Amino acid sequence: MRTMKKVLAAGLTAVMAMSLMVGCGNKKDDSSSKTYNLGIIQFAEHGSLDNCRKGFLKGLESEGIKEGENLKITYKNSQADTATDNQIASNFVSKKLDMICAIATPSAQSAYNATKDSDIPVVYTAVTSPKAAGFVDKEGKNVGNITGTSDLVLADKQLKLIRQMMPKAKNVGIFYSTNEANSKAGIEAYEKVADKYGFKIITQGITASADMPMAADSLLKKVDCITNLTDNLVVSNMQTYLQKANKLNIPVFGSEVEQVKLGCVACVGIDFVKLGKQTGKMAAKILKGEEKAKDMKFETFNNGDVIINTAAAKKINMTISKDVQKQAKQTFDKISTPEK
């Protein structure tokens, strides 16, 4: 009888051990097949930010996180309205998503404020100055469960290109939004290197789209050319001042490829698809538990390419030298029509 009990006990122990092993295996499979719920807030609808979003999803996919397979996306666009931004962010927090991706500074600020009392990480992109936006302290350390990528303009390279294309130019104009913390950082970047190339930076602020026509008339009287920041309000109204500048044969230099497609003569631009992809790879590490957002330093994009539009130059009777044409990584020979 005792022998029988020992046999039964041994058998039961073996079964339990096998069950534990199977259970462990199943647990690993559950983890690998987890579906991530991610919210994306985009501040406005224009090419730069759209490309960031596309790149972000590509970055996640390159790390094995793909929409429709193991990723569920809730996408919202606030149409350049900060109150809407705040509502979207609060709604995302109430849904207890795994992460919020915020595209552009106002959206990132809304997401950061909404998630302060939660454990939801925020990953941002297209934020010019994380410091000015309040996401890092004086030492550059994250102030919360937030990280991402910066799209600070490549001011030195841009002014070098402008000097090559406009040897006699003196005054470079910049439009900026008085409501965007990023814009100040972008202007400072240009002012820091302007003397190096013999330029004076002249700025013109706007608070709303309605301000742009009058602001354009004012600034265009004072400058030899315009160079763009990655300012959402300004970029959304680019066609207004671009048309006025064209009539005066004043070149407008973009800050990224989409602006050159739409009629800017050239830029040393940020590739927002690559910037978004860089952000997506960061997000994947956080979702997988390999990193924590609060411990990841924000990253920047430093490898801008020369991009030119020969049709835009021809429209204002501007000649692009062969030397600049050789430098160009992309050349457009027509002006695209803006999407409505």
The confidence score (pLDDT) of residue 32 equals 56
Q: Do 174 and 204 touch, CB atoms closer than 8 A?
A: yes
CA pair distance 117, 133, nearest whole angstrom = 19
The confidence score (pLDDT) of residue 80 equals 87
| pLDDT tens readout for residues 74-92 | 999 999 899 999 999 999 9
The residue to which tokens 């090559």 are assigned: 164
pLDDT at 320 over 90: yes
CA pair distance 133, 149, nearest whole angstrom = 13
Smallest Cα–Cα separation from 229: which of 172, 146, 287, 160? 172
Order of strands, sheet of 71-77, starting from the edge strand that comes earlier in the sequence: 71-77, 36-42, 99-103, 122-127, 146-150, 299-300
HEC string for 160-207:
HHHHHHCCCCCEEEEEEECCCHHHHHHHHHHHHHHHHHCCEEEEEEEC
Tokens of 325: 């044409």
Tokens of 249: 């044969």
Instruction: List the helix and strand counts (H, then E) for the chain.
Output: 14, 13
| pLDDT tens readout for residues 178-192 | 988 778 899 999 999
CA pair distance 124, 149, nearest whole angstrom = 6
The confidence score (pLDDT) of residue 318 equals 98
Fold type of domain 35-151+272-300: Rossmann fold (3.40.50)
- What number does CATH give the domain 155-269+304-332? 3.40.50.2300
| pLDDT tens readout for residues 5-51 | 444 444 444 444 444 444 444 433 344 578 999 999 999 888 889 99
Mean pLDDT of all residues in 314-319: 97
CA pair distance 196, 280, nearest whole angstrom = 36
Q: Where in the chain is the domain with CATH 3.40.50.2300?
A: 35-151+272-300, 155-269+304-332
The confidence score (pLDDT) of residue 20 equals 43
Mean pLDDT of all residues in 277-286: 98
3-state secondary structure of 336: coil
Mean pLDDT of all residues in 277-306: 94
| pLDDT tens readout for residues 89-104 | 999 999 999 999 999 9
